[in-house]
Structures are given as structure tokens and as C-alpha cells.
Amino acid sequence: MPTVTFVIPCYNHGRFVRQAVESCLAQIDADVRVVVVNDGSTDGTTPAACDACAGPRVRVVHQPNSGLPAARNRGAALADSEFLAFLDADDWVRPRFVAALHQRLADEARDGRDADVSHVYCQEQLIEKGTGVWRVPDWDPVLLLLTNIHPVTALLRADRFHAVGGFDETMTGGYEDWDLWLRFVERGWRGLRVRQPYFVWRRHSDSTMIMQVIHNHEALYRGIMERHADLFRRHADEVLLRANVLLRRCDMNWLDESGDPINLVALKRQREMYESMLAVRMHRALHRLVGRLPRPLGSALRGSMALAKRLAPARAAATSASAANLLASPSPPAAPIPPPAAPKPAAVR
């Protein structure tokens, strides 16, 4: 049975942290410990919410605000398990997260191919303001030089994490996980993929750290290139070729004078038309209104709205089935045709 320490950094997310902790403790076929790091929260409630999670398998520590990478490193330093997993306080993992990812590593070990494996990752389920599943690609070092290919919540071999020095604590603006994967690549290590979404990412706000990262992408990516300059130089030809092929595959290599791909410009216009529709504006306004309500009432209304959304397709299907049955059934006897009405006198003008 694998020994795993989940490290949960928490900054002003006290309302979510218990669910994150409980999801870790609910892991099956795993010996789990949890370290919650309150990273200098300022909302007046999160420190107590973190303390309320403490227990036989949960340790809570408090520190001045130092940023996400430092908070994760602090928790990892307190672990003595074979594996580490980093989980943000507003997310959670499904009960088979550890078991499924560890099994993937065990399968590789059985064939004698695990010596260069640093970690195992899985698909990501998006909920609330996010929807769908991020079907992450298989491990690909060249693609990793172009984009981050999987979330930070993975099953890491603790000795590999510590061997590269953990997260770069200067990278408080984002991409610290991407930087970690590239340092694994520089050591000749690789990740393994599990093609199921055992990790759940909750987007509960329009203003998230990811939105800030996207806004600052160019500067952050430049920093990634500078930190791993030798790696980029060695694979420059492959990176350029892959980038061009990706543009062609997505039909995004035809640019207009703004520098945007023509197809993307058309998609943006369609999006603007969609957002201008009255029904869409009313939908957005309703959700904003529900978001401002007290939490118990807002949660109840959101639940009712979600139920109505799930029932709507079933009702539509039932209506379609009824219509199909009506069309398939023998036609009823025709009603007698009434005699034509007497013509009305012409209007006087």
C-alpha cells in the first residue's frame, strides 16, 4: 500500500478546505497523511477553518504569506512518505486518485520500466464555472516546451521532487508546476498518464489565479525559456516544427492584419453574437444574482437550477417520444368537415 502525503496550501479558501481534506482522507488502498499550510490568510475565517481540519492524519501549520510555491515546499518538507501530491484548497480528488495512479506506476515497474519515472498524472474534471474534462496528452518532452500538459495535482515520487529542489519559490506569478516538470525532463525523467479524471478542479470565481497567469503569459513563458535555456536550445528545431504543425492542424496559420488567425476572428464574432442574445444575458444575470445571495439560499437555488437543467433533456426526450408515438399510431377517424361559414359583408371604407 503506497504512503502518500497530500499538501494543501490555503490562502483565504477556508470555506473549501474541509472538502479538500476529506477527499484526501477518503482515498482507498492508500496510507494517507495531509498537511494543510495556511499561507497567511487575511479573511479572518480561514485560519480557524484550517485548524478545524486537524486530526490524527491531518497536520495544520500557519506561516506568513509566502506564495504558493513556498507553501507547497513547506508542506513537502514535513512529509516522510514515499509519494507527494499537491492539492489546492478549493479542489478535490476522487477516492481512487492514489490507487489508480499508483497502479499505473506499478504496471510500469512490473515490466522493469519505472526507473526514470518521476510522477503519474491524470485527466482533470472541471466544475461550476468550468465544464468538461481536460483530456491531458501523453507525456511528451517537446510538447512540454510549448505548453504545460497536465495539472499540478499528480502523484510524485518524493525523492524525485526533493532531488530537484522542489518548487521555485520565486515563481509566485504562476507556471511553477510547469517549471518543475521541465526540471524533471532535464534529469531524464518522465511522467506517466492515467486516462481518467480522478482530479476535480473547481472554478468558483471569474477572477482566478489562472486568469492572471493567462494575462501575464508572455512574461512568464519568457521566464520559463530563460530558466531552461539549454533545454530549449537543444530542441529548438523540434519546437519550431511542432509549433508550426499545431497551427496548421488547428487551421490557425492564416492571419489577418491584427495578427489573429482568421478562423479565430470568426469564432470571436460568433461569441459576441451569442453573448448579445437576450436569453444568454438573462442567464448570466440570474447566476450573478444567485451568487450574491446568502450561501444557504444560493446553494439551494443553484441545486434547483442544476436539477431543472438535468430534467430538461429528459422532458424533451419524452415529448419527442410522445410525438413519435402519435405519428406512428393509426390515424383517428377524421372529424366531419363543417360547412363553410357565410361570407362576411365587405368593410365600409
Q: Supply the pLDDT for residue 321.
A: 56
The per-residue pLDDT for 169 is: 98
pLDDT band of 345, cuts 50, 70, 90:
very low
Whether the Cβ atoms of residue 194 and residue 138 lie closer than 8 Å to each other? no
Residues 215-223 have a mean pLDDT of 95
pLDDT tens sequence across 313-326: 665 555 555 544 54
pTM of the predicted protein model: 0.78
Q: Looking at the domain assignment, is residue 235 inside a domain?
A: no
- 148 and 42, same domain (yes or no): yes
Establish if 222 belongs to a structural domain: no
Q: Mean pLDDT over residues 2-31, rounded?
A: 97
Task: Judge whether 47 and 12 are in contact, CB under 8 Å.
Answer: no
How high is the pLDDT of residue 286? 82
Q: Where are the alpha helices (DSSP H) in 216-294?
A: 217-227, 229-234, 236-249, 262-275, 278-292
Evaluate whether residue 318 is within a structural domain. Answer: no
What is the pLDDT, as a whole number, of residue 281? Answer: 85
Could you give the number of structural domains in the chain? 2
Q: Considering the chain, what is the average pLDDT of its residues?
A: 88
Q: Are 41 and 178 part of one and the same domain?
A: yes
- Find the mean pLDDT for residues 22-47: 98
Question: Percent of the chain, pLDDT > 90?
Answer: 66
At residue 40, the pLDDT reads: 97
What pLDDT band is residue 146 in, cutting at 50, 70 and 90?
A: very high
pLDDT of res. 121: 98
What residues pair up with 202 in beta bridges, in sequence order? 127
Q: Would you say residue 249 lies in a domain?
A: yes
Give the range among 30-34, 267-271, 292-296 with minimum mean pLDDT: 292-296
Residue type, 139: W
The reply to whether 178 falls in a domain is yes
Instruction: Give me the domain span that covers residue 256.
Output: 242-275
341 lies in some domain? no
Task: Answer yes or no: is pLDDT of 349 > 90.
Answer: no
Residue 245 has pLDDT above 60, yes or no: yes
DSSP state string for 95-154: TTHHHHHHHHHHHHHHTT--TTEEEEEEEEEEEETS-SEE-PPPP-HHHHTTS--S-S-S
Same domain for 44 and 167? yes
Please give the C-alpha separations between residue 128 and each of 170, 200, 282, 293, 315, in angstroms, as whole numbers: 31, 11, 18, 16, 23
Which range has the worst mean pLDDT, 237-246, 254-263, 287-296, 319-328?
Answer: 319-328
Domain co-membership, 178 together with 265: no
Tell me how far apart the alpha carbons of residues 218 and 71 are, in angstroms, rounded to a whole number.
Answer: 25
Q: Are residues 25 and 153 in the same domain?
A: yes
pLDDT at 226: 97
Residue 313, in any domain of the structure: no
Say whether both 150 and 260 belong to one domain. Answer: no
Q: Is pLDDT at 293 greater than 80 in this prediction?
A: no
In a domain, 288, yes or no: no
Q: Which of 65-79, 110-124, 274-288 has the lowest average pLDDT?
A: 274-288
Q: Average pLDDT in the 203-210 region?
A: 74
